[in-house]
Amino acid sequence: MIIVALLIFFGIPIALIGVGYYLDYKRDKKYFLSGIKGSFKGIAIFVAFLIVSSLFGWLNEIIFPLDKEYGLTKNQTRIENGVPTIEEDWIEQPSWGNQYRQWYSSCITDSTFKHEKKRIEFNIWGAILEEDYFESPYCTTKLLTRYDYQSNNLTYFKIEPIPLNEQIIIDENGRVILNRQTQREIELTKMEFDKTFEELKN
C-alpha cells in the first residue's frame, strides 16, 4: 500500500513534467533540444562540483591527517599546563562536533555545579584551542577556562546572563534595539575563578 502511494505521489508530477516536455518537443524540436542541452550542462557542472568538493575533502584528510588524539591520553599534558582534565567517565560526543571540533561531556546528569564538558578546536596542524565548561542546569552563571595551544596560555572566565534592561538599547533616533547577545564573559584571575567555583558549587 505504501509503495502504491509513493508511486502515485512521485509518478503524477513526473508524468505531468514528461507530458510538458513532449508537447514542447512537438511544438519546436530545435528550441527544445537546445534547452535540454543547457539543462544537462547545468546538471553536469553541479555534479562535477559535488565530485570535486568530495574529492577535495577526502584528499585534505589524507594529505593533512589531523592529530585528534586529545582524549584521556593527553591528561598528563593538561595537568602540567594547569588545564582541566577529561574525566574517566566522560564520553566523546561526535554529533556535536566535526572534523575540526571535538566535544567531550560528563555522563552524569544531576544538579551539581561541576566540570561538565570540554570543546577542542583543531586546524590542519593539530589542536589550537581547548575550552572547559563548568555549569549546572539550575544555575544561570557558568565558568569557563580557555587554553590557547599556540601561546600556551590559560585564561579564566565567568559567563553570566545580561540583565534584560541592559539588553535593550535606545539609539540616537530613539529607536529601541534589542541586543542579540544574552550572555557576557568576564575574565577572572585563577584565585577569583576558584573562589567563584566554590561559591557556585555550594
Digit-coded pLDDT (tens) for 71-126: 899 999 999 999 999 999 999 999 998 989 999 999 988 889 999 999 999 998 88
Q: Do 38 and 92 have their domain in common?
A: no
Q: Do 144 and 57 have their domain in common?
A: no
From 63, 81, 107, give the residue that closes a domain. Answer: 63
pLDDT at 152: 96
**Residue that wins the pLDDT comparison between 47 and 143:** 143
Which pTM value belongs to this model? 0.65
Q: Do 14 and 101 have their domain in common?
A: no
Per-residue pLDDT at 149 exceeds 80: yes
The H or E element spanning position 75 is helix 75-81
Total number of domains constituting the chain: 2
Range of the domain at 150: 72-201
Q: Do 120 and 89 have their domain in common?
A: yes
Q: Do 27 and 87 have their domain in common?
A: no
From 26, 42, 63, give the residue that closes a domain. Answer: 63
Per-residue pLDDT at 60 exceeds 80: no
Digit-coded pLDDT (tens) for 29-49: 666 556 666 566 666 576 666
Contact 159, 178 (CB under 8 A): no
d(CA 122, CA 84): 18
CA distances from 4 to 10, 18, 166, 179 (A): 10, 20, 59, 52
